[in-house]
Amino acid sequence: MINETSLNSAQTQSDSSGDSPQFSESASSAASVYGDTTIFDRFTATAARITNRPFLRIMPGPAAVWGVDAGDISYGEMAARVTERREVLAAADLQSGMRVGLYLYNGPDFFVNWLALNALGLSIVPINPDLQRRELSYIIAHSEMRLMIAAAGTPSILDEVCRDENVPIIGPDAVPPATGDANVDVGGMNAGSGSRTEAALLYTSGTTGQPKGCQLDQVYFLNAGDWYAALPAPFDLRTDTEIMLTPLPMFHMNALAYSVMAMITTGGTLVPLDRFHPAEWHNVVAESGATILHYLGVLPSILMKMDPVPTERAHKVRFGFGAGVDRQLHAPFEERFGFPLLEAWAMTETGAGVCIAASSGDRHVGTSCFGKAEPEMEARIVDDDGKDVGDGEPGELLVRRAGPDPRFGFFSAYLKDAAATDAAWQDGWFHTGDIVIRDADGYFFFRDRKKNIIRRSGENIAAVEVETVLMRHPAVASIAVGPVTDPLREQEVACLVVPKAGLGNPVQMTELFDGLFALARAELAYFKAPGWFAAVEAMPLTGTQKLQRGVLQDQLSKMLEAGSLTDYRPRKSRRAPAG
C-alpha cells in the first residue's frame, strides 16, 4: 500500500502568480547525477570530452527539405556554432528568464539556437508549424515571448501574427533587434535559478479548450537524459556509441527531452528527420547506421501494411522506443523487422520524473502493458471517488516521485494557471487522467483516457477546442466532438452536428459538412479537423443539459461500425490549403 501521508517541506508550492513554484535547496542541488545544472552545461562537457564524434547526422532527404548540407556535425563543430550564436544573441537586450519562440523544424538551426539561448538563461517556445492564426496568436501572446526565430520560407501568417503581437521575428542566423526590454522585471515570467530556471515552455491540449503551457525547467531535461542512460540491458545506452533516429518533432517532449538529452548524456549521435516517410524509411534507417529509433504507434502500423523489401532488415537497430503500438502487431513487427519495441508511458507534465517502461522482466508483448513502477516513483490507481482499487480493477493512474521532492523531474507549473496546476496535483498526487489496470505482479496495462482528449498520431486534441471553433458556423444548432478508433492513427476526430431547423436533405448536409471542415482547417491545425461527420437530431445530454461524453463515445463507435459517419479523412493533409 502506498504511503499517503502529506508531503513534507521539500514539496513544491505555487507562488502567487501561479507561474513558477518554489523549491527547497535540497531538491535544487540534486539537479543531476552528473553534477551539471543546465542543458548547455551538459552539452559543453560532452563536447569537450568527444569533440570529433558526430552530434547530428543530417540525412540527404531532410537536408533538402531544410536547405542545409547533408552529413555529420561533430560535437566540436556544434559547440563552435553555439558559441558564435551565443555571442550574437548576447549583444541584444534579452534578459535571462525571457522566452523566445523557435519556428525551426528539426534541423541544425534548432539545436544551435536552443543551446545558445539556454546558455544565456533564456527559455524556448517551440512552435508546431501546423498551427493556424488563432492558435499562433494565443501561444505567442500567452507565453509573453520577446522574440521569434524562424526558418526561411515560413508562412506569411507567422509574420502577420508576430506583427500583431508586437514580437520581432528574425532568421536563425540574424541579429535580434533591440526589444526595449532592458529594464523589464522578468521575475513573473520565468522565476527560479540555476537548475530550476525554465528551459522550455511546451503547449499541450487541455480539457478547457485552450492549450496549457507546461513550464519545463533544466532539471526536467537533465533528468530525462539520466533516466534514459540508466535503462537496463538490452535497452542500455552504450557510451559514445549509439545512433538514435527520430522522425518526431522537437516541439514534442519525446524528441526534445528524451532523444536529444539521451544522446547528449551518453555521447551519442542524433539523426533527426523532417518527418516519417514510409517509402524511404528502410533505406534511411540502414544508411544512417541507427542503433535506436523512436516511434509512435502509427509508424509500426504503416510499416506492417507495406510489402516486404530486402532492405527492411539491413539495419543495425537494437530497439525501438515509443508508445501506442497496436497490440496485435507488436509480436509480428518484432519478428518481421528483427528488433524489439520498448513500450513506455509518460506525459509532458511528468517528464522522466515518472516514466514507466517495459524495460525489465516480462514485456507482455501483445498486450497494452507499459511496464511496472520503478523504485524512484510511487503510484496509485483510484476510482472516481479517489479510493484505491485492487489489482485487476480499472482506475485512474496517480503518480509522484518517491523521496523528499514529489515533483522532481515533473513540469514546474501550467503557465498563468495556478488553479489547473493545483487540480493536477490534488492531494499531493499528479492525476494523469489515464485509466489503467495493475496486475498482481505490478505490471500496468493501459485501458482508456479519462480526460476529454482525442489522441491522434501522437497529438493530443482537446474536443472542447474543436467544438468552440465549429460552433461559429451559422447553420449549426449544436456540435459535439469525440474520438473513434482508427487503424493507423490510434484515434480520429469525429463530429456530430445538430443542424438548425430547416436543414436536413443530403445536399444541405454535404454543404454543411464541407463548411465545417473548411472552418476547422482555417482555424485549427490540420490534425484537429474532424475526419468523420454525421448529422443527428439531438445530443446525449444530462438532466442539467451537459454533454454526456461517455455516451457520446459509445454513440460514435456504433455509428462508425454501422457505416453511418461521413468520411473526411482523405481531406486531412497538412498540405491542404487552410480556409
pLDDT digits (tens, 9 = 90+) for 506-530: 788 999 999 999 999 999 999 999 9
CA angle 171–174–175, rounded 5-degree value: 135
Cβ-Cβ contacts under 8 Å for 117 (sequence gap 6 or more):
89, 100, 123, 124
- Torsions phi, psi for 560 (to 5 deg): -65, -45
249 burial class (0-12, 13-18, 19+ CB within 10 angstroms)?
A: buried
pTM value > 0.95 = no
Name the CATH superfamily, with its identifier, for domain 454-571: ANL, C-terminal domain (3.30.300.30)
The domain made up of 23-438 has a fold known as Rossmann fold (3.40.50)
Task: Please tell me the least confidently modeled range out of 465-479, 541-555, 561-575.
Answer: 541-555
Is the pLDDT at 3 greater than 50? The verdict is: no
Please give the Cα distance from 299 to 461 (Å, whole number): 19
Is the pLDDT at 344 greater than 50? The verdict is: yes
**What pLDDT is stored for residue 178 in this prediction?**
78
DSSP string of 543-575, one letter each residue: TTS-B-HHHHHHHHHHHHHHT-SEE-GGG--TT
The domain segmentation of the chain, as residue ranges, is 23-438, 454-571
**What pLDDT is stored for residue 391 in this prediction?**
95
Please report which confidence band the pLDDT of residue 182 belongs to, taking 50, 70 and 90 as the band edges.
low
Tell me if 104 sits within 8 A of 110, measured CB to CB.
yes
pLDDT digits (tens, 9 = 90+) for 29-60: 345 666 779 999 999 999 999 999 999 999 99
**What does each C-alpha distance from 169 to 15, 165, 384, 565 come to in angstroms?**
32, 11, 47, 43
For residues 198-206, average pLDDT: 88
**What pLDDT is stored for residue 449 in this prediction?**
76
- In sequence order, what E strands does 66-190 have? 71-74, 99-103, 123-126, 147-150, 169-170
For residues 121-146, average pLDDT: 95
Cell 522522425, located at residue: 247
Strand 341-345 versus strand 319-323 pairing type:
parallel
For residues 192-196, average pLDDT: 74
pLDDT digits (tens, 9 = 90+) for 361-391: 899 999 999 999 989 999 999 998 999 999 9
Strand 169-170 versus strand 147-150 pairing type:
parallel
**What does each C-alpha distance from 19 to 13, 22, 78, 96, 412 come to in angstroms?**
11, 10, 33, 16, 8
Give the orientation angle of helix 75-90 with respect to helix 108-119, to 10 degrees.
60
Is the pLDDT at 215 greater than 70? The verdict is: yes
**What does each C-alpha distance from 83 to 39, 174, 198, 291, 349 come to in angstroms?**
14, 15, 21, 30, 31
For residues 111-116, average pLDDT: 98
**What pLDDT is stored for residue 20 in this prediction?**
34
Per the model's pLDDT, the better-predicted residue between 180 and 463 turns out to be 463
CA angle 105–317–309, rounded 5-degree value: 90
Please report which confidence band the pLDDT of residue 472 belongs to, taking 50, 70 and 90 as the band edges.
confident
Is the pLDDT at 335 greater than 50? The verdict is: yes
Instruction: Give percent of the chain with pLDDT exceeding 70.
Output: 89
Is the pLDDT at 452 greater than 80? The verdict is: no
How is residue 236 annotated by DSSP? Answer: P
